[in-house]
Structure 1
Amino acid sequence: MASKFKPGDIVQLKSGGSAMTVASDLTNGGHYCEWFKGASSERSFFKEETLQEYVAPKKA
């Protein structure tokens, strides 16, 4: 199965949330992603089906 995302891509959960950077190639149907929460770096695994390309909010 070809992956929709590659390391370095900016993504977010389909349900919303922070912009995250894809940190790994497709593994077990998902990716490890990294993001910042304040000054702390966070990292977690997400199934590819739950991710979408990041779309920046429109400025008013």
Structure 2
Amino acid sequence: MSQIKKGDTVILKSGGPIMTVQSLGDYSMSGIEDGALCVWFDGNTPMEKVFDINGLEIYRDE
């Protein structure tokens, strides 16, 4: 299994938009200790959210 790192393109294991990892770290204030701050666009609107790194996988364009 690949280690997710800053700058990787990821997707939620359950599906959703393609996102870019902006930073990794301890986001325990959000309830997530091993988290990834991900960014993506919803149309022209930039979005960001912290996800548990265990719920993400590297996006591979097939």
TM-score tier by shorter-chain length is 0.7 to 0.9
One of 32, 42, 47 as aligned partner of 2:52 = 47
Percentage of pairs with the same residue = 39
Matched letter for residue 8 of structure 1: G
Equivalent position of 2:35 in the other structure:
30
Matched letter for residue 30 of structure 1: G
Superposed CA RMSD: 1.1
Paired residues in the alignment total 54
Q: TM-score, normalised by structure 1?
A: 0.81
Q: TM-score, normalised by structure 2?
A: 0.78
| Structure richer in strand, relative to its length | 2
Measure, in 1, the Cα distance between the counterparts of 2:44 and 2:15: 21
Segments of structure 2 that go 5 or more residues without pairing to the other structure are 27-32
Matched letter for residue 31 of structure 1: A
